[in-house]
Structure 1
Amino acid sequence: MPMKYSTEFKIKVIRRYEKGEPIRELCQELNISQSTLYHWGKQYCTIQTKTRSYTPAEFDAITRRLKKAEHELEIIRLSGYLARVPLQEKLPLLEHLHNEMAELHSVKELCEALEVARGTFYNHIFRRADRRKYQDEKTQLMQKIKQIFDDSEQRYGADKIRVVLAESGQRVSAKRISAIMRELGLQSVRTDAKRLYKKLQQRRKRNLLQRQFTADHPNQVWVSDITYFKVKNLGVYLCTIIDFFSRRVVGYRISRCASTRLVTMTFRNAYAERGEPSDLTFHSDRGGQYISDTFSKLLQRCQVKQSFSASGCPYDNAAAESFFAAFKKEEAYRREYTSERHFQKSVDEYILFYNEVRSHQTLKYKTPQAFEDAYEERHAEKPCSDNDFE
């Protein structure tokens, strides 16, 4: 019966061999064959690098992981995905990674990974303070413009608001005020106010869903809403778009302003990410961002039908309300956010959990991702009829 040796014994023998003791003497002393000692060497001989020592098994495992990582990286590069991501989305991500992983990865490594020039990234960092100052000033100006607009009972236009601001010592051009009003969806009284009023009233009556909370396939009905949350005395707004078929969050965005831009950017990203679906209905409440001409015209250009909840009736938009209730109860109210970035990370992680991990009763306890995957599988397996080839 062959002799069994402990791992500790084998390692001690290999260490003696590494210190220079001849193989023949070791084999004679310990009464083992040279082939056995060579076999132990393959298992326990150390491979020395600049940073640490490895056993052959550890080194082989690292080599396999390296080959796999190189293969995955090659796939990412061949797909061209990184080239399609806008630079303005890469830069904030790079800044976040740099702040969180400065000790692990250099700026050069991070920039090369996301295919961004280091000079571009450094310019982004150096100009950040100026951008934040400009954004803070713009936020304050937006609040003042909205306050003056509301105080006039939505009567004042850009010129009159400019005069009110000048009287308080703040000089702003009417052109800039007009641009901010468009962004906020503010529209003063006009000569064609009656026609616009009738048009708006007609549009507001369009509730295409009528609480028929069903959909036959993905990208048939999207519902959207905006919620407010306070982070360190700073108000932030979260806009989400949910696919009614699978309850999947297909788009979301965070902003310090509940502006029309927040809604349009959220929709644009979701619309592109979902492959620009056709025959889509977009349902929301009657918030100023959703009924603005800018957003309505965007939906018209994309040939998307627009639907609105009845005034003061949150049940007409129950799916969006339900998501916000779940997010606040399961995530937001359980955290003490230290910054806007912390809140953004929390939202990112929760929506990933919501889409891919959290089961939904309305989906027969499947996740939104699994529910959509099951739909795709059913239709992929559906046989073609003769009519499909006519």
Structure 2
Amino acid sequence: MTDMGLISIREDAKDYYDKEKKKHKNYLNRQFHVSRPNEVWVSDITFFRYNEKSFYICVIIDLYARKVIAYKIGYNNSTQLTKSTFKSAYESRQPNQSLLFHTDNGSNYKSRSFMTYLKGLGVTQSFSRPHVPYDNSVMESFFSNMKREELYRTKYRSEKELRAAVDAYIKFYNGERPHSKNQYKTPDRKEAEYYSK
């Protein structure tokens, strides 16, 4: 504070930075092993171009069994895409305990409407540090596999075929593809075993 009662711009900027850092904290901090389903969900959006059209694929994975619990494909990388994907996951899973939702620093996930929506559900948001993909490596790995095993290997004849292929891949990933983090069980089997206890 100066003699004239003015606030230092530098102090103001630091306060704003500290506030933003707290609001966009990395609570997950690469702790990818969790004890139950619906404890931590991770999400990201990938881009795929087909026939001069851009497609954005938003996916949410439950960390417990590395299971894809929701996905949507849109023409725009929008808050509406992330919100509708989360809503689909939330309505189908109906978590009844604390839930952490971890993503990168994309503007969709940081938008006021999306953050307000999650806060209203009692969901805690966690964010990767800027330009640190390892903070969300489970999602990075999933998209890498999907592109290598499906999207980049196939020449689609229509948008309908592309959408059907993504749907089929996710069903294969959940139901047939063994995962090393699941002791080589599929995500569906790992989660089913939890609920059968």
Normalised TM-score (structure 2): 0.89
Q: What SS does the aligned partner of 1:358 have?
A: coil
Structure 1 alignment gaps of length 5 or more: 1-192, 379-390
Identity %: 44
Structure 2 alignment gaps of length 5 or more: 1-12
| Shift of residue 196, structure 1, vs aligned partner | 7.0
Q: Deviations over 1:45-66 (max 9, x none)?
A: xxxxxxxxxxxxxxxxxxxxxx
Which structure features the higher share of helix residues? 1
Q: Does 1:213 align with 2:8?
A: no
| Shift of residue 231, structure 1, vs aligned partner | 0.8
2:125 to 306, 325, 331: 306
Whole-angstrom CA distance in 1 between matches of 2:94 and 2:140: 26
Whole-angstrom CA distance in 2 between matches of 1:199 and 1:342: 46
Task: Read off the aligned partner of 1:313 and give its amino acid letter.
Answer: V
| Shift of residue 238, structure 1, vs aligned partner | 0.1
Task: Map 1:82-101; keep pairs closer than 5 Å.
Answer: none
| Shift of residue 214, structure 1, vs aligned partner | 1.0
Whole-angstrom CA distance in 1 between matches of 2:51 and 2:92: 32
2:114 to 274, 289, 295: 295
Q: Deviations over 1:321-360 (max 9, x none)?
A: 1110110011111111222222110110000000011100
| Shift of residue 259, structure 1, vs aligned partner | 0.2
Q: Does 1:262 align with 2:48?
A: no
Task: Map 1:295-334; keep pairs closer than 5 Å.
Answer: 295-334=114-153
Task: Map 1:1-390; keep pairs closer than 5 Å.
Answer: 199-204=19-24, 206-378=25-197
Whole-angstrom CA distance in 1 between matches of 2:89 and 2:96: 10
Say whether the 8 Å CA contact 1:278–1:304 is kept in structure 2. no
Whole-angstrom CA distance in 2 between matches of 1:315 and 1:258: 22
Task: Read off the aligned partner of 2:126 and give its amino acid letter.
Answer: S
State the superposition RMSD in angstroms. Answer: 1.6
Aligned length: 185
Whole-angstrom CA distance in 1 between matches of 2:120 and 2:16: 20
Higher relative contact order (CA 8 A, sep 6+): 2
Whole-angstrom CA distance in 1 between matches of 2:118 and 2:16: 18
Normalised TM-score (structure 1): 0.46
Q: What SS does the aligned partner of 1:238 have?
A: strand
Q: What SS does the aligned partner of 1:334 have?
A: coil
Whole-angstrom CA distance in 2 between matches of 1:354 and 1:216: 21
Whole-angstrom CA distance in 2 between matches of 1:302 and 1:258: 23
Task: Read off the aligned partner of 1:217 and give its amino acid letter.
Answer: R
Say whether the 8 Å CA contact 1:278–1:303 is kept in structure 2. no
Say whether the 8 Å CA contact 2:38–2:95 is kept in structure 1. no
Q: Deviations over 1:134-171 (max 9, x none)?
A: xxxxxxxxxxxxxxxxxxxxxxxxxxxxxxxxxxxxxx
Whole-angstrom CA distance in 1 between matches of 2:79 and 2:133: 20
Aligned to 1:7: none
Say whether the 8 Å CA contact 1:284–1:290 is kept in structure 2. yes
Q: Greater Rg, structure 1 or structure 2? A: 1
Aligned to 2:5: none
Relative to structure 1, the CA distance from residue 342 to residue 195 in structure 2 (aligned partners, 3 Å threshold; closer, same or farther) is: farther
Q: What SS does the aligned partner of 1:350 have?
A: helix
| Shift of residue 203, structure 1, vs aligned partner | 1.5
